[in-house]
Amino acid sequence: ASGLNSAIVAAGKLYFGTATETFTLEDVEYATQVSNTADFGQLSPANSMKWQSVQPTQDTFTFDGGDAIADLAEANGQLLRCHTLVWYNQLPTWVSGGGFDNATLIEVMTNHITATVTQWKGKCYAWDVVNEAISDNGDGSFRSNVFLDTIGEAYIPIAFAAAAAADPDAKLYYNDYSIESDSPKATAALNIVKLVQSYGVKIDGIGLQAHFIVGSTPSTEAQVANMEAFAALGVEVGITELDIRTDTPVTASAQTQQAADYASTIDACMQVDACVGITLWDWTDKYSWVPGTFSGEGSALPWDEDLQKKEDVYDAMIAAIGGS
Ligand code: G3I
């Protein structure tokens, strides 16, 4: 097989990529493999462009982490998905601590977006402008965060407008999880697209994080219908953080199911013109976020802890892309 990215580009998509970290790039074998454009034509910084990393104290900006990944992508000729400008998590305490009035927080948020987007202007295929703004209450309500609680839902279009002003060429995405098939949360994401559009503000895409569980991955048909619902609003979609976790140690049958789940998700994107590409949330179990968050779970990625391909999973992914 040529590779995940070579195959998906040959099939007309923009990229197959992966999130990565600055510290993992010190792992020479890792850095070599993540730079292999046959498999990875796009990179996303898992952490180094988040508010906590970029503006840890007010008006003090540290771009070196994001620069390391932006520079690697540029050197490799890989696209860059930039992540993420406004999120309730990984905020520095000077922001999450609140205490701002409406006008001041709008200024603080706008300043952060402007400075951050300007730093990587022209380098980001897309920005995840707002991340995870919808709650997990099951009713599609907005997630409480300092921005919603101070500014109201308008913080979302205001954030998109600031990003559009700073880099008119970047695709501007709303990014979330559990919106990959029909649900109140997916409906709420559709409504976010409509909300931003109702302000006459630019929104280009929806990031479907796709943090899935082996055996509970939505069917291809459900994922296709969901993607088409977003496309009907005039936005593109990307699978932005794909991993499919299972109980560890993984069993042979679980890995067989995992291969099928990766294939069905990739198949969904291949069936929808508006789906531009697929990004893994790292590519190797060695650096996956999953075990640290879900104890007893892991083995979520197509390469194992020793950076070796899980051949059955990888081959199923290539087959789903239509590669050989
Ligand atoms: O940088 C600090 C370091 O200074 C400190 O010594 C260390 C121990 O406390 O923590 C380090 O920060 C960690 C950070 O990753 C950078 O490695 C945080 O503890 C840790 O919580 C953080 O985890 C990240 C997580 O987002 C935070 O929610 C994961 O790496 C990252 O993969 C994950 O990514 C998110 C996406 O941004 C949004 N979608 C969900 C996805 C998974 O949670």
Tell me, what's the pLDDT at 12?
97
* Ligand 1 pocket, mutate which of 83, 90, 211 (most atoms under 8 A from CB): 90
Give the pLDDT confidence of 97-152 residue by residue, as tens digits.
989 999 999 999 999 999 999 999 999 999 999 999 999 999 999 999 999 999 99
CB under 8 Å to 21, separation ≥6 — which residues? Answer: 45, 46, 47, 48, 282, 287
Residue 307 in tokens: 């950076």
* Nearest CA among 321, 290, 69, 284 for reference residue 177: 290
Query: What is the pLDDT of the chain when averaged over all its residues?
Result: 97
**For residue 323, pLDDT beyond 80:** no
Which residue is it, tokens 């977003």? 230
Tell me, what's the pLDDT at 98?
87
**For residue 79, pLDDT beyond 80:** yes
Tell me, what's the pLDDT at 324?
58
Tell me, what's the pLDDT at 319?
97
Report the amino acid identity of residue 192.
I
CA of 210 to the centre of ligand 1 (A): 18
What would the mean pLDDT of 308-321 be, rounded to a whole number? 98
CA of 208 to the centre of ligand 1 (A): 19
Active site residues: 132, 241
Residue 47 to residue 20: CA distance in whole angstroms: 8
**For residue 56, pLDDT beyond 60:** yes
Atom from ligand 1 closest to the CA of residue 23: 17
**For residue 1, pLDDT beyond 70:** no
**For residue 291, pLDDT beyond 60:** yes
Maximal C-alpha separation, the chain: 57
Residue 26 to residue 8: CA distance in whole angstroms: 28
Residue 182 to residue 146: CA distance in whole angstroms: 28
**For residue 278, pLDDT beyond 80:** yes
Atom from ligand 1 closest to the CA of residue 177: 39
Distance separating the N- and C-terminal Cα atoms of the chain: 5
Name the closest-CA residue to atom 16, ligand 1.
47
Within 10 Å of residue 2's Cβ, how many Cβ atoms? 15
* Ligand 1 pocket, mutate which of 178, 289, 293 (most atoms under 8 A from CB): 289
CA of 47 to the centre of ligand 1 (A): 6
Q: Would you say 237 and 274 are in contact if contact means Cβ atoms under 8 Å apart? A: yes
Name the closest-CA residue to atom 43, ligand 1.
289
Pocket of ligand 1, beta carbon within 6 A: 46-47, 89-90, 131, 209, 241, 289
Atom from ligand 1 closest to the CA of residue 89: 28
Give the pLDDT confidence of 240-264 residue by residue, as tens digits.
999 999 999 999 999 999 999 999 9
Atom from ligand 1 closest to the CA of residue 19: 32
Residue 272 to residue 156: CA distance in whole angstroms: 27
Report the amino acid identity of residue 73.
A
CA of 293 to the centre of ligand 1 (A): 10
Q: Would you say 251 and 282 are in contact if contact means Cβ atoms under 8 Å apart? A: no
